[in-house]
């Protein structure tokens, strides 16, 4: 099977930095270490409330890290204008609510806000490849394609974080979603809640071209080291794809 791109989300390095209000640990340094250890890209989510990643972190990753940035953002005027300025190669549109702990569900593209279509068109015009974080629902996937997205990111949270006895059914839903994405001519990414135990099932899906992993990876690196954690994920994914 083909290589699975692995984008490391460094948001929670910024969470730790912000806990003490200083400059350490630095998410850009984490991005550098992750890429040196075999990550194919870096993911950052610039939230409206700037609770972890800040504007300057994104600017620095664009300037200092050669690996592609997957820029997660809400479809708002502020974020589209920011993306037009820094021109990340990839952008993933996510829903955002101030009170949530993390991105709680996929974007509902069957009921898109008035700005979504324009946001996608503007990002594409700026040379950004647009992905939308959605549930593995064929109707959502077709709607994402109709809106002009080039990729979707399947929300793996219900599969990865739900009860173990529901995993087989959730995995079947994700597989059907990946097949629907391919049929709609979309690239298929996946992410949310993945860890050493759950990533292999996702990596075995041939339609999935990229995974994005953050919270478990950054947390596990407290015990194992960031480079070692990235290398272990890489080995699990490569084994799952028979590489
Ligand atoms: N993909 C998207 C769109 C996300 O919003 C997140 C969480 O920030 C992730 C992937 C990564 O999820 P996790 O941090 O649980 O690995």
Binding-site residues for 3-amino-2-oxopropyl phosphate = 9, 20, 193, 214-215
Look at residue 133 and give its three-state secondary structure: strand
* Cα distance between residue 233 and residue 228, in whole Å: 9
Query: If we measure between CA atoms, which residue out of 98, 92, 178 comes closest to residue 135?
Result: 178
CB 9 within 8 A of CB 229: no
What number of CA atoms fall less than 13 Å from residue 72's CA on the CB side?
A: 32
Q: Which helix (H) or strand (E) holds 213?
A: strand 208-213
Asked if the 5-240 domain carries CATH number 3.20.20.70, the reply is yes
Whole-number average pLDDT of the chain: 96
CA of 8 to the centre of ligand 1 (A): 10
Which residue puts its alpha carbon closest to atom 9 of ligand 1? 192
Enumerate the domain spans of the chain. 5-240
Q: Single out the catalytic residue among 135, 153, 155, 192.
A: 192
The pocket around ligand 1, CB under 6 angstroms, is made up of 9, 11, 45, 72, 92, 94, 102-103, 133, 153, 191-194, 212-216
2 phi and psi angles, rounded to 5 deg: -75, 160
Mutate to test the pocket of ligand 1, among 27, 192, 229 (most ligand atoms within 8 A of CB): 192
pLDDT in single tens digits along all 243 residues of the chain = 899 999 999 999 999 999 999 999 999 999 999 999 999 999 999 999 999 999 999 999 999 999 999 999 999 999 999 999 999 999 999 998 766 777 678 999 999 988 999 999 999 999 999 999 999 999 999 999 999 999 999 999 999 999 999 999 999 999 999 999 999 999 999 999 999 999 999 999 999 999 999 999 999 999 999 999 999 999 999 999 998
CA of 153 to the centre of ligand 1 (A): 10
> Measured between alpha carbons, how far apart are the two ends of the chain, in Å?
7
CA–CA distances in Å: residue 33 to residues 3, 10, 67, 188, 231: 20, 11, 12, 26, 11
CA of 230 to the centre of ligand 1 (A): 16
């Amino acid at each position: 099977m083909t290589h699975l791109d692995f984008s490391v989300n460094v948001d929670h390095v910024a969470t730790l930095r912000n806990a003490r209000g200083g400059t350490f640990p630095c998410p850009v340094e984490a991005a550098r270490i992750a890429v040196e250890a075999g990550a194919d890209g870096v993911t950052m989510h610039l939230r409206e409330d700037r609770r972890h990643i800040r504007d300057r972190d994104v600017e620095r990753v664009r300037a200092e890290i050669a690996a592609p940035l997957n820029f997660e953002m809400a479809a708002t005027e502020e974020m589209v204008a920011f993306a037009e300025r820094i021109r990340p190669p990839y952008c993933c549109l996510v829903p955002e609510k101030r009170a949530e702990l993390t991105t709680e569900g996929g974007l509902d593209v069957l009921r898109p806000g008035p700005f979504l279509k324009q946001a996608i068109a503007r990002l594409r015009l700026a040379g950004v490849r647009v992905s939308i974080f959605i549930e593995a629902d064929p109707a959502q996937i077709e709607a994402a394609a109709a809106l002009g997205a080039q990729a979707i990111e399947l929300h793996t949270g219900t599969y990865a974080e739900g009860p173990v006895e529901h995993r087989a059914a959730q995995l079947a839903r994700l597989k059907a979603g990946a097949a629907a994405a391919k049929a709609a001519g979309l690239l298929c990414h996946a992410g949310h809640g993945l860890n050493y135990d759950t990533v292999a099932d996702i990596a075995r899906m041939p339609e999935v071209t990229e995974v994005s992993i953050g919270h478990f990876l950054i947390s596990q690196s407290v015990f194992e080291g960031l480079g070692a954690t990235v290398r272990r994920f890489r080995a699990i994914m490569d084994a799952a794809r028979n590489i």
